[in-house]
Structure formats: structure tokens, C-alpha cells
């Protein structure tokens, strides 16, 4: 990674700059985690795990007239995953973002390459910034800004496993192709967004032939604020096919907040995901939030939708929220009540309660620390889905330090 950065720096510093801006920022983000029931219930025989992961990322941003370029390189590792004198890393350097954007006019622009697709509250499309690797897509994005406070994004992605001479199976754990349109409108203290997305997933049918199932996700997001009140509401549906099964699913979410003072805020909300009855071999009625930043929803212990709970019994999450923020310090307490929305073979649908506590302190604009503690009080019904032992203590804690300075910036005019 160092040699790559040195080469880029040499090219950028020696190339003449005319009416150009160039900025480089660096992120080093180590995070300690104690996982004692994170994502799944531990059994009586299992012990909790502890480790330190780290994201190391460098971003290069370049702009010249109507042209914008971004290159983001990163390495994600766990402390001690290679010997101290290893010549190579397990994960190596990954390309997080690499795109070019051209502004054809004030109303229209296009962006091509590896990029983050993040919209609204990131429930369906998000960066997944909590994950050290985060999420980005290889896509073409076209943006139209017809009037002030109006915006239309149209995105297209076509994926392949490699350069080939003939068609081969797509074995990457991702979609084969994707198309979406997102329209957004701002009006004073309210905002409306509408999303339509089509994703194609390749699979092998019963005669060993490759086919593509298409899943359609569509819906609306509404955000509002008035005085001390604020909130958002969203409704989405899913139709089409997945794994050669018909999909019919829906989602509804409501989030309300009230500002008690300049520092304190309370809130409450709910999310409903339709589900498929346990053991059902028929159609899929489970809603999947696809590419959302799921860690920010349904509890920080990630029992639901963070690489799990797909095509399952759905979820009803009823939660409260208490937040405090002053100067460089912030605190949040969030309890969740979880229940299934589909049948659990006659068992109680109540899955458990999770309590999340999180705090952060910003030492400076470049250095911040975040800490958190969560505990899951699972039920026998949660054991049916996750296994493990709900009777033992299931908790999770973390400490994360984020160093994120801008290390170079330059601007020159003609």
C-alpha cells in the first residue's frame, strides 16, 4: 500500500495543476470487540471472543472544471492475523471506491466506477460504514437535477466474474445485474423519496443450467420536522422471484423524535418485516433490506439482517431512544422488543429484548472515540432460530478510535 501511495503522490505533485483541486485524507480506525453472544446465542460450551480489527484507508479526491475523480484504497485486518515478519497480508489492499464523474451541465451529470450508493436513511441502499470493509458497487449512475430541490438518480450495474470468451456461471456472492431509479423532493421541512429497484440473481436450476431470478423492490420514504418534533416513515414492497420461488413481501417503518432541550432528545419507533412461516417450502414472504446499513437498525448486536435472518420469520421491532449531545460528547440508550411476524411452529412469537448503550467523544476534528455495550435477553423462541442457550448471559462491547485527518489539500486557478 505504501508504494502505491508514493507513486500516486509523485504523479499528482509533479503534474501541473491548473484550475484544479486535490485533497488527500487518511483514516486509521482500530476497534476492540468483545463478542459474547453477538449475532447469535452462544451455547453453554462456547466462550466469548475478543479481538481488534482495523480499517486503514486513504482517499484521493481530484476536481478540474466539470471533472471529478476519486480513488479510495483500504486494508482491513485483525491484529495478529499474520506473523510480525510476514511479507504479505491476508487481505492485501482493496479498492473501496474508484470513479470518475463528469458534470455535463448544472442539471445533469454521470458517474462511472466503484462507488457508494447511499440514499435516505440507508435502509435499502447504504454505505454500511460500521463494517470495516464497508460497501460499494461497480455501477453507472446518472443524476438529473431538473429544478431546485428535485433530484432523479438512475443506476445500472452489470457484473461478471472475469474477462471471458464465452458465458460462465457467476459464482460471486452478489447480484448479476441491477437497475434502480430514485426520485427525491425537498419541501421546506419535509422530504419525499421514491425508489424502484430491480436486482437479478443468478442460480443453477434443477438441470444444471444457469438462470436469473429478478427481484423488484419499490416504495417511498418521508422525512419531516416541525418545531421540536421530527421523524420519518417508510413503506416498501418486494415482488418477483428468488431461488426459483415467488416473492411477495413488505416492510413498514416509523421513527418519531422529540427534542426536550438543547441537549436531550427522546424517541420511539417500530419496524415491521413480513416473514415466511417456519418450515414453509412455499413462496417467500420475507422482506430483505438488500444493501442497507443494517447495523444501524434492529439492535447493535446484529441478530437480524446483518448477514443473517434472510428468508426467515420476519421481524417486529418496537424500540425507544434517549439521546444526549453536548459539545464533543454524545450518548444514546436504545431498548428493543423483538418478535417474529410469521409462525414459529406454534411457539411464542416474542424473541427477546435487547438494550444498547453507546457513547462518543470527539477530541478534535481528526480524532474521536466511541464505546458501546449491548445485552440480549433472548427467549426460547430465539433459540429455535439461532440455536445456543438463551439462559446464559449474551452481551457485546466495543471501543473504537477513529483517526481521520486531511493530510494534503491544494487548489490552483488558471
**Nearest 5°: CA angle at 244, between 241 and 250?**
30
Nearest to 42 by CA among 396, 387, 372: 387
CB 318 within 8 A of CB 340: no
**Nearest 5°: CA angle at 289, between 285 and 292?**
175
CA–CA dist 321, 330 (Å, integer): 13
Q: Which residues of 18-28 are buried (b: 16+ CB within 10 A; e: fewer)?
A: eebebbbbbbe
CA–CA dist 134, 190 (Å, integer): 29
Return the pLDDT at 19: 66
Low-confidence ranges of the chain (pLDDT < 50): 11, 13-17
How much is the pTM?
Answer: 0.92
Give me the residue label for grid cell 449491548: 374
Percentage helix, strand, coil, to 5, in the chain? Answer: 5, 55, 40
Count Cβ atoms below 10 Å from residue 89 Cβ, excluding itself: 13
Return the pLDDT at 147: 81
Return the pLDDT at 412: 77
Q: Which long-range contacts (CB under 8 A, 24 or more apart) does 356-365 make?
A: 356/299, 356/300, 356/301, 356/332, 357/331, 357/332, 357/333, 358/300, 358/331, 358/332, 358/334, 359/329, 359/330, 359/331, 359/332, 360/329, 360/330, 360/331, 361/328, 361/329, 361/330, 362/328, 362/329, 363/328
CA–CA dist 139, 182 (Å, integer): 15
Nine-digit cell string for 346 = 406454534
What residues contact 39, with CB distance under 8 A and at least 6 apart?
301, 302, 303, 306, 307, 308
CB 112 within 8 A of CB 129: no
* Torsion (CA) 186, 127, 369, 74 in degrees, nearest 10: -140
Nine-digit cell string for 326 = 453536548
Return the pLDDT at 17: 45
DSSP-derived letter for residue 109 is E
β-bridge mates for residue 316, sequence order: 272, 339
What residues contact 2, with CB distance under 8 A and at least 6 apart?
none
Return the pLDDT at 244: 85
What is the rounded average pLDDT for all residues in the chain?
94
Return the pLDDT at 311: 93
Q: Is the domain 21-412 a CATH 2.40.160.100 member? A: yes
Residues 346-364: pLDDT tens digits? 999 999 999 999 999 999 9
Q: Where are the beta strands (DSSP E) in 293-349?
A: 315-326, 329-339
Return the pLDDT at 3: 57
Return the pLDDT at 10: 52
92 CA to centre of own chain: 22
Nearest to 122 by CA among 255, 296, 318: 296
Return the pLDDT at 210: 85
CA–CA dist 226, 411 (Å, integer): 40
Please state, in angstroms and as integers, the Cα–Cα distance from residue 379 to each residue in 40, 245, 297, 313, 396, following that order: 12, 31, 20, 15, 17
Nearest to 317 by CA among 301, 331, 333, 335: 335
Return the pLDDT at 106: 92
Count Cβ atoms below 10 Å from residue 400 Cβ, excluding itself: 21
- Residue 21 region by backbone torsions, left for phi larger than 0, else alpha for psi between -120 and 50, else beta: beta
Return the pLDDT at 209: 80
CB 124 within 8 A of CB 182: no
Return the pLDDT at 75: 97
Amino acid at each position: 500500500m505504501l508504494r502505491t501511495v508514493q507513486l500516486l503522490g509523485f504523479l499528482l505533485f509533479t503534474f501541473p495543476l491548473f484550475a484544479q483541486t486535490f485533497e488527500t485524507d487518511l483514516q486509521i480506525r482500530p476497534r476492540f470487540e468483545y463478542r459474547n453472544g453477538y449475532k447469535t446465542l452462544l451455547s453453554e460450551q462456547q466462550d466469548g471472543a475478543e479481538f481488534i480489527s482495523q480499517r486503514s484507508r486513504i482517499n484521493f479526491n481530484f476536481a478540474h472544471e466539470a471533472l471529478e475523480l476519486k480513488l479510495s484504497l483500504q486494508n482491513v485486518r485483525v491484529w495478529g492475523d499474520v506473523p510480525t515478519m510476514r511479507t504479505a497480508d491476508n487481505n492485501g489492499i482493496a479498492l473501496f471506491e474508484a470513479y470518475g464523474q463528469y458534470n455535463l451541465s448544472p442539471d445533469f451529470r454521470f458517474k462511472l466506477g466503484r462507488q457508494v450508493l447511499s440514499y435516505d436513511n440507508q435502509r435499502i441502499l447504504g454505505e454500511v460504514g460500521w463494517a470495516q470493509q464497508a460497501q460499494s458497487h461497480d455501477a453507472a449512475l446518472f443524476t438529473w437535477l431538473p429544478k431546485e430541490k428535485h433530484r432523479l438518480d438512475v443506476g445500472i450495474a452489470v457484473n461478471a466474474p472475469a474477462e471471458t470468451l464465452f458465458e460462465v456461471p457467476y459464482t460471486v456472492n452478489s447480484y448479476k445485474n441491477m437497475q434502480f431509479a430514485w426520485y427525491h423532493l425537498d419541501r421546506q421541512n419535509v422530504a419525499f423519496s421514491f425508489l424502484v429497484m430491480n436486482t437479478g440473481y443468478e442460480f443453477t436450476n434443477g438441470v444444471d443450467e444457469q438462470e436469473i431470478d429478478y427481484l423488484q423492490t419499490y416504495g417511498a420514504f418521508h422525512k419531516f420536522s416541525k418545531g421540536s418534533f421530527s421523524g420519518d416513515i417508510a413503506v416498501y414492497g418486494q415482488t418477483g422471484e428468488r431461488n426459483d420461488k415467488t416473492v411477495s413481501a413488505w416492510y413498514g417503518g416509523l421513527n418519531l423524535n422529540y427534542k426536550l432541550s438543547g441537549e436531550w432528545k427522546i424517541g420511539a419507533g417500530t419496524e415491521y418485516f413480513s416473514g415466511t412461516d417456519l418450515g414453509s417450502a412455499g413462496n417467500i414472504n420475507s422482506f430483505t433490506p438488500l444493501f442497507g446499513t443494517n447495523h444501524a437498525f434492529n439492535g447493535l448486536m446484529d441478530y437480524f439482517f446483518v448477514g443473517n435472518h434472510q428468508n426467515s420469520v420476519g421481524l417486529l421491532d418496537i424500540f425507544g431512544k434517549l439521546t444526549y449531545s453536548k459539545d464533543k460528547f454524545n450518548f444514546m440508550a436504545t431498548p428493543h422488543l423483538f418478535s417474529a411476524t410469521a409462525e414459529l411452529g406454534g411457539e411464542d412469537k416474542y424473541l427477546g429484548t435487547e438494550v444498547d448503550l453507546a457513547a462518543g467523544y470527539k477530541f478534535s476534528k481528526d480524532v474521536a472515540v466511541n464505546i458501546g455495550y449491548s445485552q440480549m435477553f433472548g427467549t426460547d423462541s430465539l433459540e429455535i432460530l439461532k440455536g445456543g442457550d438463551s439462559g446464559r448471559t449474551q452481551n457485546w462491547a466495543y471501543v473504537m478510535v477513529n483517526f481521520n485527518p486531511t493530510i494534503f489539500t491544494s487548489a490552483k486557478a488558471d
